[in-house]
Amino acid sequence: MESKEETAGAGEASLDGLPSALVATVMTKLDIASICSLASTSSVFRSCARHILSFLPSFNLLDTAPSGDMLRPLLPPNPYLTTLKLDCSRLDDSAIAFLLKPSLQDLSLHNCADFSGRLLSEIGNRCKDLRSLYLGSVAEKRGRAIHISDLEELLSGCSHLEALILMFDVSLFLRHNFARVWASASEKLTSLEIGYISSVTVTELLSPNLGSHLPSNPVQPSILPSIQKLCLNVDYITDAMIGTISKGLMFLTHLDLQDAPLIEPRVTFDLTNAGLQQINQLGRLKHLSLVRSQEFLITYFRRVNDLGLLLMADKCANMESICLGGFCRVTDTGFKTILHSCTRLYKLKVTHGTHLTDLVFHDISATSLTLTHVSLRRCNLLTNHAVLSLASNKGLKILDLRDCRSLGDEALLAIGTLPRLKVLLLDGSDITDAGLLYLRASVISSLYALSLRGCKRLTDKCITALFNGCCVLELRELDLSNLPNFSDNGVLLLAKSRIPFFELRMRQCPLVGDTAVMALASMLIDEAKHGSSLRLLDLYNCGGITALAFRWLKKPYFPRLKWLGVTGNVNIDMVVDALARSRPFLHVASHGEELGADPYDTSDGLYTHDYDDVDEFEQWLLEADIDSDFEEIGDAENNDEMVA
């Protein structure tokens, strides 16, 4: 009988016999983490990986934060590298030399808090062919700084830039020099997103008289003449800023504005009916989002009423997507005008619609609308009747009814008739276990994400109601947080379902404990293979979690886990620290923060997910009848062996 060593040797010999061209072709279809995982299994794969990294056109490690020492050998000289996307949480200015390649056309660097403004200037000097650039949290760490000259070198150096996303506070730059610097920006720039900028700076930047490109043309703006998409977080959304944007940006099709006032705005620093009347003066706008965030202050657009929406609707007949947040004085009359005027509308989001009732949707079946994305979060006057009316849109793919607390099982009965639904968010509703049975006939088989957070009447039986007897499901994201009657028994039922979840959130479930972790760690994905597909597991403030659970959170359990939420306290902090050291690329959050990026709050205020974007190698691992100890690139031993 052959020993394991002989069997392994024979397996490796057979792999070594594969044509290198065939292996290379297969590996070029995989992501970076999968290439590194394969490289740890065979000498032929390891050799192929070293070769591929020198000509691979795309490098994406957004879900892992590598150190400079680990990343350096993975980014050798490569004249073919055009796309680079990284989480830079563990990097600083010392990484600039091997990060910034002259061949890059698409660069996304997230969490750059430890970089200085030198990152911007070096991008302008080294990456002349960039078409798209994303920079997040640059110089947010204390002691780091960005100067206006850094921004100027970036804008003047990247003359082919078409899309620019600066997810940090640009109000740190000198205001009197800001417009002058942007005069050197690429005239090909069609998309601009900024993490924070003052409304006054926006108004000055886009005023036609501040530039020097086309001084003889009073209509064409001298700065940013080709912008089609503009997404800004500002201090205040004002009439003056809206007017400047609407008149100055002649080709604008996508406008996304969000403010977060620190104090209640005065009339001169607020949005009024007159400001709404100025929107879409040139008639090109397709997507509009106006949101007043309550991050710092409970505040609304108090100077806008139904008249404002009536005036706006006159110019928005061709609108396809509308997001309105914080319009507390707008009633059914205003919202209904939007639905009946914008006949091409397929995405609608209203948050904090304090006067929005069922009557808005009463006759929606009589309109020509074919809505696919609907979000009505915190619209507390809505009842089951509104959902019954909305369900006439059988093409609905996304339905967000979070914090609509009057919805019950009758709403689930209507939702159960939507065969194409991909995302269903029912946080805080009054549904029961029995009501969830209505989803099992047709909806549960199509859902990708389901959130039942805070539905207090649900118990362990909700798992049976949803999944008992179901076969192959698309469901990958499930939120069962804040359910006081959900326990370990429910998690055991979930594990038996063998659904390969990517994200499972169970925060603040007092009856969930160590048994749940053991069940998830031991669950069968198929008949022969143990292992968890989870990338995110949130157990924050679950009442039964002790140090025992952390034994099951170590390797080799949960091999794909990248985000973990737990509760930090005196007795468990040392265990959390030990886990973080043993799995350095696992993000362990112990202060109650939400894990990962919120997929439900994107720039246009609507959830967008590429449901088919599943890594091929990872899918193979989940489906194939093999014994694998897959681990992310964070396994330093495998990485050292691969690049040796």
What pLDDT does residue 208 have?
67
At 541 the three-state DSSP class reads coil
Q: Is residue 206 part of a domain?
A: no
Structure tokens given for 546: 């002790």
What range does the domain containing 42 cover?
23-54
Nearest 5 degrees, angle CA 135-CA 137-CA 140?
Answer: 140
pLDDT, tens only, 171-192: 888 777 888 899 999 999 999 9
Q: Is the pLDDT of residue 628 over 80?
A: no
Residues 514 and 616 reside in one and the same domain: yes
* Residues comprising the chain, all counted: 644
Q: Please check the confidence at residue 5 and state whether its pLDDT lies above 50.
A: no
Q: 510 and 463 in one domain? A: no
Decide if 238 is inside a domain. Answer: no
Domain assignment present for residue 469? The answer is yes
Q: What six digits make up the tokens of 370?
A: 């074919």
Last residue of a domain, which of 459, 475, 491?
475
The fraction of the chain above a pLDDT of 90, given in percent, is 60
pLDDT of residue 4 exceeding 70, the answer is: no
Query: Of the ranges 371-375, 508-512, 585-589, which one carries the lowest mean pLDDT score?
Result: 585-589
> Can you tell me which residue has the tokens 């657009």?
301
Q: Band of the pLDDT at 637, cuts 50, 70, 90? A: very low
Give the pLDDT band of residue 346 (cuts 50, 70, 90): very high
**Structural contact between residues 232 and 256, judged by C-beta atoms closer than 8 angstroms:** yes
Task: CATH number of the domain at 402, please.
Answer: 3.80.10.10
Same domain, yes or no, for 453 and 535? Answer: no
Instruction: Please give the pLDDT value at position 639.
Output: 39
Give me the long-range contacts of 618-625 (CB less than 8 A, separation at least 24): 618/34, 618/560, 622/500, 622/525, 622/533, 623/526, 625/526, 625/528, 625/529
d(CA 76, CA 604): 37
The radius of gyration of the chain from alpha carbons, rounded to an integer in Å, stands at: 26
Helix axes 43-52, 32-39, angle to 10 degrees: 150
pLDDT score recorded for residue 159 = 95
Sign of the Cα torsion 70, 73, 77, 82 reads negative
Assigned domain for 380 exists? yes
On whether both 432 and 514 belong to a single domain, the answer is no
Establish if 566 belongs to a structural domain.
yes
Least confident of 2-11, 90-99, 398-407: 2-11
Q: Identify any residues that bridge with 163 across adjacent strands, giving them in sequence order.
A: 132, 191
pLDDT of 12 above 50: no
- Which residue carries 């610097």 as its tokens? 181
In this structure, is residue 342 part of a structural domain?
Answer: no
What pTM did the predictor assign?
A: 0.85
pLDDT averaged over the chain?
85
Residues 370 and 468 in one domain: yes
Specify whether 423 is located in the same domain as 519.
no
How does 304-332 read in b/e, with b if 16+ C-beta sit within 10 Å? bbbbbbbbbbebbeebbbbbbbbbebbbb
In a domain, residue 200? The reply is no
- Write down which residue in 475, 495, 515 finishes a domain: 475
Beta pairing partners, 487:
511
Longest dimension (CA), the chain: 89
Of 54, 72, 95, the last residue of a domain is 54
Q: Residues 292-317: pLDDT tens digits?
A: 998 899 999 999 999 999 999 988 88
Contact 292, 300 (CB under 8 A): yes
Do 463 and 531 share a domain, yes or no? no
Based on the domain organization, do 435 and 525 belong to the same domain?
A: no
Q: Are residues 430 and 516 in the same domain?
A: no
Q: Which pair of tokens denotes residue 279?
A: 């929107």
pLDDT (tens digit, 9 = 90+) per residue, 474-496?
999 999 999 999 999 999 999 99
Domain count within the chain: 3
Q: Residue 33: pLDDT band by 50, 70, 90 thresholds? A: confident
Same domain (yes/no): 462, 542: no
Asked whether the predicted pLDDT for residue 567 surpasses 70, the reply is yes
pLDDT score, position 602: 39
pLDDT 10s digits, 586-617: 888 888 888 876 444 433 333 444 333 334 33
**115 assigned to some structural domain:** no
Across 398-526, the runs of DSSP E, i.e. the strands, are 398-400, 423-425, 449-451, 477-479, 503-505
**Look-up of token digits 């892992």:** 64
Please indicate, yes or no, whether residues 449 and 521 belong to a single structural domain of this protein: no
Is residue 368 scored above 80 in pLDDT? yes
